[in-house]
Amino acid sequence: MAEHSTDRLVRMLGMVAYLDRNERVPVPELARHFGVSEAQIVQDVELLWVSGTPGYAPDDLIDFDYDQFERGIISVTADRGMRRPLRLGAREAIVLLSALEAVREVLGSGISPAATAVLERAMTKLRAATGDASGALDVHLPVGGDESVRAAVGTALTSGRRLRMRYVNSDDVSSERDVDPVRVFTDQGVTYLQGWCHRAHGERTFRLDRVLAATVLDVPVEERPAPADEPESFRPAPGDALVTLELAPGARWLAEQVPVESVEDLEDGAVRVSLRIGDPAWLRALLLREAGNIRAVSPSSAALPAATAAQATLDAYTHLTPTN
């Protein structure tokens, strides 16, 4: 499985810091410490060798002891400032603070007391560093799902234990699954759990708002190769239903963020897109959410589930007694 470039960058920067504390380190030791192969360590060093500060002349590049390298020992001779402590600017500190706020929002009480204490200390220091700027920060993620479910997920992640979940899929079919959790992430306002599903015998991604109940089992998660850093992007099947939407300018994002068959620019910034729909529930949710920006749907039958749901909501209001 291909490695994500962000992970490699973090590891390589970590290698420079590690070599700062340990002057000469054999390649096998570095490989064990960073959890990669010896060949990968050699490749990382070779890339660091041609990296450095702007200018990229020989005197700007990170350098290693070549004779030691030939004997399988890594020793930095010129770090080009990479060993200096990190100094965050206000903007970077605000971004990091918002990320920590998001972690607390998603995992809630599932974070262990020790981890919570570390999180609070880090956030306190970041608020002090940003001063008045942190007062304008208001992070709130629409996490979905029951608090008890989020707490169980957080506990399972921090303790390295298996989850037993009752999950309902997009077809409204519920099932019980044992899952070794790997991580929680949020995408387009939806929070997901990624992990190894023992029922499916493979890596799966679950929406937290579809987990009806979750229990932490007294079973440690099994060691497996790390999953993909990002779940595989959705790719519709050739046989999925083809739907055409005419979108107002406010919904042009759809043509850029969702796989589409064709895009046609219209007057006043509107756009007509054709896309294949693998999950009718997704289309229904899209039509309801973007109703004000969707001018036409073809075939019209594709809009029926959303229209029915909208009418049912309106009908529910007719039973309310007006109050003065």
Cβ-based neighbours of 324, under 8 Å, separated by 6 or more: none
Give yes or no for residue 322 having a pLDDT over 70: no
- What pLDDT shows up at residue 233? 46
- What pLDDT shows up at residue 49? 80
pLDDT tens-digit series, residues 289-303? 888 889 999 999 999
315: phi then psi, degrees, rounded to nearest 5: -60, -35
More confident residue, 180 or 114: 180
Q: What mean pLDDT is predicted for residues 39-55?
A: 81
Radius of gyration of the chain (CA): 25
Check whether the bond before 299 is cis (ω within 30° of 0): yes
Give a yes or no: residue 300 inside a domain: yes
Q: What pTM was estimated for this model as a whole?
A: 0.43
Give a yes or no: residue 84 inside a domain: no
Give a yes or no: residue 208 inside a domain: yes
pLDDT tens-digit series, residues 98-141? 777 777 766 665 566 777 788 788 888 777 777 665 555 555 55
Give a yes or no: residue 20 inside a domain: yes
Q: Is the same domain home to 16 and 72?
A: yes
**Residues shown for the chain:** 324
Q: Is the same domain home to 155 and 130?
A: no
Measured distance CA(55)–CA(36) in Å, rounded:
31
Least confident of 128-137, 149-158, 208-217: 128-137
Instruction: Record the tokens describing residue 217, joined without a space.
Output: 């089992």
Closest CA to 83 of 6, 34, 19, 33: 19
Give a yes or no: residue 324 inside a domain: no
- What pLDDT shows up at residue 76? 82
- What pLDDT shows up at residue 232? 47
Q: Is the same domain home to 245 and 304?
A: yes
pLDDT tens-digit series, residues 223-271? 776 555 444 445 666 778 899 999 888 777 777 667 788 888 887 878 8
Q: Is the same domain home to 132 and 154?
A: no
- Does residue 211 sit in helix, strand or coil? strand
DSSP label at residue 323: -
The full DSSP string for 31-52 is HHHHTS-HHHHHHHHHHHTT-B
The arrangement of strands across the sheet holding 294-298 comes to 262-265, 271-277, 241-247, 294-298
Give a yes or no: residue 228 inside a domain: no
Give yes or no for residue 84 having a pLDDT over 60: no
Give a yes or no: residue 234 inside a domain: no
Domain total in the chain: 4
Measured distance CA(186)–CA(194) in Å, rounded:
11
Domain with residue 158: its CATH number is: 2.30.30
Q: Is the same domain home to 278 and 312?
A: yes
More confident residue, 164 or 238: 164
Long-range contacts of residues 116-123, Cβ cutoff 8 Å, at least 24 apart: 123/97
Q: Is the same domain home to 132 and 152?
A: no
Please, what is the angle between helix 38-48 and helix 5-21, to 10°? 80
**Structural domain range at position 308:** 241-316
Domain with residue 10: its CATH number is: 1.10.10
- What pLDDT shows up at residue 86? 56
Highest mean pLDDT among 50-64, 86-100, 148-162, 308-322: 148-162
Highest mean pLDDT among 38-42, 61-65, 168-172, 188-192: 38-42
Q: What mean pLDDT is predicted for residues 4-26?
A: 78
271: phi then psi, degrees, rounded to nearest 5: -150, 145
- What pLDDT shows up at residue 231? 47
Domain with residue 304: its CATH number is: 3.30.70
| In the chain, beta strands by DSSP E | 25-26, 63-64, 73-74, 76-78, 161-168, 174-187, 190-197, 202-207, 211-220, 241-247, 262-265, 271-277, 294-298
Q: How confident is the model at residue 219 (pLDDT cuts 50, 70, 90)?
A: very high
Give a yes or no: residue 322 inside a domain: no
Q: Is the same domain home to 245 and 312?
A: yes
Instruction: Record the tokens describing residue 185, joined without a space.
Output: 């992430």
- What pLDDT shows up at residue 88? 64
